[in-house]
Homo-oligomer: A and B are copies of this chain.
Amino acid sequence: MRTRVTDMFGIEFPVFAFSHCRDVVAAVSRAGGMGVLGALYFTPEELEIELKWIDDHVDGRPYGVDVVMPASYEGADLDVDSPAELVARLQGMIPQGHRAFVEDLLARHGVPPLDGSDSGKVLLGWTDATARPQVEVALRHPIALLANALGPPPADVVEQAHAKGVKVAALASTPRHAIKQVEVGVDVVVAQGTEAGGHTGEISTMVLIPQVVDAVDVPVLAAGGIGSGRQMAAGMALGAEGVWTGSIWLAVEEADTSETVRQRIIAATSRDTVRSRSWTGKPARLLKNEWTDAWESAESPGTLPMPLQFMLISDALRRIGRSDATELATFPAGQIIGAMNQVKPARQVVFEMVEEYIEAMERLGRITGDG
């Protein structure tokens, strides 16, 4: 397969795989696609270890790193000397009523507290201040792509990446976003429809992709609802030059997904997700369950703006993850989880996607008499 994207990165198939798991990233890159590691959950020191591992396991194939530098968030205008001070100031902005709501919800579901030694990493890379050290680590590795979720990356970050020969991508959920991103120098736009897992907009992939393709000159990757070869073919038919996938990798063999989450994914239908602010304060598609329902209930105090919401709930999520309260265990997931009902190696997922893509092309050829 050949598009501007396969040429840009020297890859065989224009299949980008977003994952927080280094094994998945390396496996997809080795299979001829391009793995992209989500850096969000890692401290700079941890990220260094993950990327070193990928460097050692990717057989020289290109891979990428995805960071979250939101264009807007609470506390962006605070005058602080260190990330630690920022965390402390932000902690002080979380209302007591919200903390009580979370504690009460957990108590009702019998979720035990963390022991004292186990205090969480409460901020993560949700802010410019905390994501920049991740970018610095990433740019010390031979990455081919730096991707940013939640808006155009800062112009100086784009410059730094370009100076190292690293291409920059950004996720867009409207044509206007895409235009802004290209204005700051983004090389690839990931146009992501509302059916995607994680942070997502309102417009569906079917409607969004042609609008973004028509709005910008750089290549566009189709994201949202794409986990099979037919969906890949549809994305390319809409004008994309590659696809960006996420949820499909949650249940592959290599994924370090917990058994609880894996079983939930296998059992879920495409109606079992919901766009909710209950994870980070910005709308994100999550597995719909008693957690997401609770934040929509009459008792809900409402969600807090990014990054306060995740700071509020991060210990709670870890407590839930270690408890038997699986009914509260939510996670970012796109609507394609309804079609995921088998655990396969990542390599096989890539090959089956390409095979089904080719079959779809042959079927389309027969419709117009070219087959």
Show the binding face of A for B, using Cβ within 8 Å: 1-3, 174, 193-195, 201-211, 224-226, 228, 230-231, 233-239, 269-271, 334-336, 338-339, 358, 360-361, 363-370
Contact = CB atoms under 8 A, between A and B. Distances in A.
A360 to B, nearest CB: 5
Q: List the 6 shortest-distance A-B pairs measured between CB atoms, nearest first.
A: A206-B225, A233-B237, A234-B234, A195-B204, A207-B335, A234-B237
Contact of A338 (B203, B238, B336, B368): B203
A1 B363 CA distance: 12
Contacts of A364: 233, 236-237, 361, 364
Contacts of A224: 204, 206
B231 A206 contact: yes
A207 B136 CA distance: 37
Contacts of A239: 230, 360, 363
9 contacts: A202-B270, A204-B224, A204-B335, A206-B235, A207-B270, A207-B338, A211-B339, A231-B238, A364-B364
A336 B207 contact: yes
Given A230-B237, A234-B234, A364-B237, A206 B208 contact: no
Contact of A193 (B206, B230, B336, B368): B206
A367 B234 contact: no
Contacts of A335: 203-204, 207
Nearest to A196: B204
Contacts of A1: 367-368
Contact of A210 (B2, B201, B230): B230
Contacts of A2: 366-367, 369
A358 B369 CA distance: 11
A340 B370 CA distance: 31
Given A230-B238, A230-B239, A237-B237, A204 B193 contact: yes
Contact of A204 (B206, B237, B360, B366): B206
A272 to B, nearest CB: 10
Contacts of A360: 237, 239
Contacts of A228: 210
A370 B364 CA distance: 13
A270 B3 contact: no
Nearest to A205: B206
A228 B206 CA distance: 10
Nearest to A337: B207
Given A207-B336, A228-B210, A361-B370, A235 B233 contact: no
A254 to B, nearest CB: 24
Given A2-B369, A195-B203, A206-B225, 9 more contacts: A193-B204, A202-B270, A203-B338, A204-B224, A206-B231, A207-B231, A236-B237, A237-B360, A239-B360
